[in-house]
Amino acid sequence: MVLVGLLAGGCEPSPSGPEAESASPGSTSRASPTATATPGPLPGVTLPPCTWAKVTRVVDGDTVDVDLGGETKRVRYIGMDTPEVYGGVEPFGREASAFNAAIVSGRFVCLEKDVSEVDRYQRLLRYIWLADGRMVNEELLLAGLATVSTYPPDVKYTQSRFLAAQKKARDEQRGMWAP
């Protein structure tokens, strides 16, 4: 069922084996860092100031646990929201979680802070960048597996990236925007 939802969302499941480390949904040529790679952007990629951490667990579509300097921290993605998978599974909740897992599980990601450090649940609030320059928050919106959801003052990419990504997913009828 998750595979069907992923395919309906406009992405492919990631392959298994050694090639899985460089592939991600909807991507055939852009590599992602491996779990054992030295963290940092790929050659030629410029990222905003951010802190590298290894994803140790995908909680759901918009939350992960990371190893940050030997300490486990829970991170909530800023600027978007995915359907729930706990306390009642919402439509596309499993697909959003699977998509998130396919692109970040076991990989190094770069955590960019906006204004706020944590939310009321003490989760770090961050934009999540891949070594290839893609932002995971935006990728979920583009796949139609998230909606823009902002809590000022953390609105850095709302106008410049997130609303356009959501509109593109809606216009292309991806994920939750499919008929």
- Among 30, 57, 123, 170, the active-site one is 123
Q: Is 123 a catalytic residue?
A: yes
Spatial separation of the C-alpha atoms in residues 62 and 172, rounded to whole Å: 22
Cα–Cα distances in Å, from 174 out to 32, 81, 165, 169? 23, 16, 11, 5
State whether residue 127 is helix, strand or coil. strand
CB of 147 closer than 8 Å to CB of 79: no
- Among 76, 126, 134, 161, the active-site one is 76
Q: Is 84 a catalytic residue?
A: yes
Angle at 48 between CA 37 and CA 93, to 5 degrees: 70
Q: Is 76 a catalytic residue?
A: yes
Spatial separation of the C-alpha atoms in residues 11 and 50, rounded to whole Å: 27
- State both tokens at 90: 């919402």
Spatial separation of the C-alpha atoms in residues 12 and 42, rounded to whole Å: 23
- Among 12, 30, 57, 84, the active-site one is 84
Sign, Cα dihedral of 134, 117, 93, 13: positive
Residues noted as catalytic: 76, 84, 123
